[in-house]
Amino acid sequence: MHKPRILIARAIFPEVVERLSQHFEVEANPQDVVWTLPELLARLADKDGLLSTGSQRIDSELMAVCPRLKIVANMAVGYNNFDIEAMTAAGVQGTNTPDVLTETTADFGFALLLAAARRVSEAEHYLRAGQWQSWRYDLFAGAEVHGSTLGIIGMGRIGQGIAQRGALGFGMEVIYHNRTPLEPAVEAQCQARYVGKEMLLRSADHVLLVLPYTAESHHTIGAPELALMKPTATLVNIARGGIVDDAALAHALRTRQIAAAGLDVFEDEPAVHPDLLALTNVVLTPHIASATVTTRLAMANLAADNLIAFFAGRGALTPVNRVVD
Ligand code: 8YV
């Protein structure tokens, strides 16, 4: 019988490509070429499935030229690259990689928070530039993290992981805002208290963003929200670019309306707003919150498992839409 044809859009672990090759006719991208849309479409036109890393928009235009396409398996928990309505209408299954990256990504939220609040990158650049002459009482004095108030916007699995780290590990008071408050038992486990968005922005010493990107969450943090935050506050975004208005944030950081920021995602990534690049009070990382070897391998394997289960007729393991035959 003819094996289904799969396209793997970017380079991934060779052992996962090998595993997929046992089930499918695979076209991979070991050189990790970032294909243009026409280049991608030329390869996808005769494929039954796609393993995507989440940057490719899957919409009706794409599906119109890929009539065989039945499933897109994202190697990412976020799936804002999917036009879910269009995919469901076209009978295309979408899947993501939840759970396997929760703790690793929560760790990185804390890494960015600590680096930004305690001015780690700024201090290291200073030292490497040979500017360190002597000890000073206020040299890179930053903001306290332990015992402070942590505000989390978006309280899904990763948000909850961050809350637990804050409450249990750093003795922080944790407040959160979410579309819907958590069940009381989950709230108790996270030692977190639900508050309105404005209250959160006004009272948090540090604000962490962990919400999905949707039309509603576009610019959740812009100039009006930054104006509510404390001048000593840190803002951390490990969710998606577009949740923060990067130009407004650069202005707030430059004018010291807030003290610092840590950003792993950007509005127009991989391009970074030039005003952010010019500032020292922001820690900038290239979308690596889930990047440990173990977690990225688990993500790739879960994306592969979704493809394998789907084509074996067992149904995708972690579907994000409901497709009826
Ligand atoms: C991914 C992420 O590494 O899972 C997500 O949603 O943002 C990251 O973990 C990135 O999207 C590339 O796949």
At 20-42, the pLDDT tens digits run 999 999 999 999 999 999 999 99
274 confidence band (pLDDT: 50, 70, 90): very high
Question: In angstroms, what is the span from residue 193 Cα to ligand 1's centroid?
Answer: 28
- Alpha-carbon distance of 140 to 258, in angstroms, equals 16
144 labelled catalytic: no
pTM, two decimals, is: 0.96
Cβ–ligand 1 contact at 54 (below 6 Å):
yes
Strands (E), the chain: 5-8, 25-27, 49-52, 71-74, 93-95, 149-153, 173-177, 192-194, 206-209, 234-237, 260-263, 282-284
User: Each residue of 112-151: pLDDT tens digit?
Assistant: 999 999 999 999 999 999 999 999 999 999 999 999 999 9
Q: Cβ-count burial of 24 within 10 angstroms (0-12 exposed, 13-18 middle, 19+ buried)?
A: buried
Identify the active-site residue in 240, 267, 273, 296. 240
Quick: pLDDT tens for 216-245: 999 999 999 999 999 999 999 999 999 999
| Rounded Cα–Cα distance for residues 112 and 94 (Å) | 30
> Mean of the per-residue pLDDT values for the chain?
97
Burial (CB < 10 A; 0-12, 13-18, 19+), residue 100, is buried
The answer, yes or no, to whether any atom of ligand 1 lies below 6 A from the CB of 76, is: yes
Among residues 165, 119, 164, 175, the alpha carbon closest in space to that of 144 is found at 119
Can you tell me which atom of ligand 1 is nearest the CA of 288?
3
C-alpha of residue 288 to centroid of ligand 1, in Å: 8
The protein residue whose alpha carbon is closest to atom 5 in ligand 1 is 76
Active site residue 269: yes
Domains of the chain: 5-99+293-311 (3.40.50.720), 102-284 (3.40.50.720)
User: For atom 9 of ligand 1, which residue has the closest CA?
Assistant: 290
Residue 325 has pLDDT above 70, yes or no: no
Contact 238, 265 (CB under 8 A): yes
Q: What single-letter DSSP state applies at residue 257?
A: S
Residue 77 in contact with ligand 1 by CB distance below 6 A = yes
187 assigned to active site: no
Q: Give yes or no for residue 53 CB within 6 A of ligand 1.
A: yes
Residues in the chain: 325
Choosing from 101, 209, 297 the residue with most ligand 1 atoms within 8 A of its CB, the one to mutate for a pocket test is 101
Binned at pLDDT 50, 70 and 90, residue 324 comes out as confident
CA nearest to 74, candidates 313, 308, 324, 300: 300
Q: Pick the catalytic residue: 10, 118, 119, 287?
A: 287
The CB of 73 under 6 Å from ligand 1? The reply is no
Cβ–ligand 1 contact at 158 (below 6 Å) = no
Give burial (CB, 10 Å; 0-12/13-18/19+) of 307. Answer: buried
**Pairing, β 49-52 against β 71-74:** parallel
